[in-house]
Amino acid sequence: MILSELISLDVLRVIWWLLLGVLLIGFALTDGFDLGVGALLPFVGKTDTERRVAINTVGPVWEGNQVWFILGGGAIFAAWPPLYAVSFSGFYLAMFAILAALILRPVAFKYRSKRDGHAWRNGWDWALFVGGAVPALIFGVAVGNVLQGVPFQLNDMLMPLYPGNFFIKFISLLNPFALLAGVVSISMLMMHGAAWLTLKTEGPVQLRARAIGSVAGMVAFVTYILAGVWLAFGIKGYTITSVVPDNGPSNPLFSTVEHGGSWLSAYSDRPWIAIAPILGLLGIALATMGLRAGREGSTLLLSKLGIFGVISSVGLTMFPFILPSSIQPDASLTVWDASSSQQTLFVMLVVTVIFMPLILAYTAWVYKVLWGKVTAEEVESDSHSY
């Protein structure tokens, strides 16, 4: 027996759907507070020293945290090639904006302290704000559009096509529901960044982070509920109406998809998935209360719980859909028809089983070594700090 046949294709597809979720959630939990701190930077730090304190809470770890984003993109490319092709084509300008912001962020980290001028440092501080706020917003906007369906087609050669004017299509991505999802995303990550600053700082920076973070948490809580209600009553869902062979070929056109009904019908089919939005709301609410009360470690953990619940709720609600098509529903990409081959998924799984524990162990060790608060005295006396 060939080793790759030890696990059936349908099981491998579900495993890699779960692993993709793990990578995206891992990115949100780690680099999410980096983005949140960047978005908060001009508001929690009023002096140069205060801003340096905030920057140095994430300075030693942001590069390692961003690896989760790279791993997620690599997993999409290798495990779900049609998803990579269709999404990166349809969201090209959005992806470019995210990458430009993520490129701007390390440049700002490295150049900010090279000169002492106020205008120089203030300009780079706003660059860090852009590098944090823009990706946090666009990630949510992208999720909002995915839930509505993306306007792509597949021809007989499975080549993705996006009919219509390029710039009009880009502007259409900024629709009200997608923008609401963007507000959920940026407010949630600002809350997460505030929870991190509460843990890692003290004094004025910590107090401002708590105040702003508690407001961001309330915004995230309310907008997440509004998005759920809108999704239930204003956004049509997608349903596979034909028999789909779980071990069949990766050809989306083999299935028949109906665009109608509600996404929330998934909760009547699989009631247990309701735990995800409950955890999302509970985590955000308790993290907000923790910020107001001044609790530190537990607040960050609860913030992570809220993010885990929110992101999980999207994936579980859409399953088995990964990227539905609004203009050609039968071309929608699902877990069952958009994956790589059985052998590819198996080899990737073996590599993941070997190296993922090493990555987690190394990450845990780094955080252990860097544990403790960042103080004004520390950054002023350390010539190597940002």
Q: pLDDT tens for residues 227-260?
A: 999 999 999 999 988 877 667 778 888 888 888 8
Partner residues linked to 257 by β-bridges:
240
How far apart (Å, rounded) are the C-alpha atoms in residues 109 and 58? Answer: 10
CB atoms within 10 A of CB 248: 14
Whether residue 320 has a cis bond before it, omega within 30° of 0: yes
Looking up tokens 């205008």 gives 119
| pLDDT confidence of residue 377 | 86
| pLDDT confidence of residue 383 | 67
Residue 281 in this model has a pLDDT that exceeds 50: yes
Instruction: Supply 269's token pair.
Output: 């089919």
327: left (phi over 0), alpha (psi -120 to 50) or beta: alpha
* Averaged pLDDT, 164-193: 88
Q: What whole-number percentage of the chain has pLDDT above 90? A: 57
Residue 293 in this model has a pLDDT that exceeds 80: yes
Give the residue, 171 or 126, on which the prediction is more confident. 126
Residue 323 in this model has a pLDDT that exceeds 60: yes
How far apart (Å, rounded) are the C-alpha atoms in residues 185 and 369? Answer: 30
How far apart (Å, rounded) are the C-alpha atoms in residues 156 and 6? Answer: 32
* Averaged pLDDT, 356-361: 89
| pLDDT confidence of residue 1 | 47
Residue 41 in this model has a pLDDT that exceeds 90: yes
Residue 385 in this model has a pLDDT that exceeds 80: no
CB 325 within 8 A of CB 149: yes
Confidence band of 166 (pLDDT split at 50, 70, 90): low
How far apart (Å, rounded) are the C-alpha atoms in residues 272 and 275? Answer: 6
* Averaged pLDDT, 170-185: 90
Rounded alpha-carbon distances, angstroms, from residue 105 to 139, 201, 217, 226, 287? 16, 21, 24, 32, 27
User: How does pLDDT run across 203-218, given as a tens digit for each residue?
Assistant: 999 999 999 999 999 9
Residues 203-218, buried b or exposed e (16+ Cβ, 10 A)? ebbbebbbebbbbbbb
**Backbone torsions φ then ψ of 290, nearest 5 degrees:** -65, -40
Residue 67 in this model has a pLDDT that exceeds 90: no
Confidence band of 363 (pLDDT split at 50, 70, 90): confident
CB atoms within 10 A of CB 350: 12
Partner residues linked to 154 by β-bridges:
160
**Backbone torsions φ then ψ of 236, nearest 5 degrees:** -75, 140
| pLDDT confidence of residue 137 | 95
Say which amino acid occupies 66. Q
| pLDDT confidence of residue 228 | 95
**Domain extent listing, the chain:** 7-381
User: How does pLDDT run across 71-99, given as a tens digit for each residue?
Assistant: 888 889 999 999 998 888 878 888 888 99
Confidence band of 2 (pLDDT split at 50, 70, 90): low
| pLDDT confidence of residue 196 | 96
CB 271 within 8 A of CB 173: no
* Averaged pLDDT, 13-24: 94
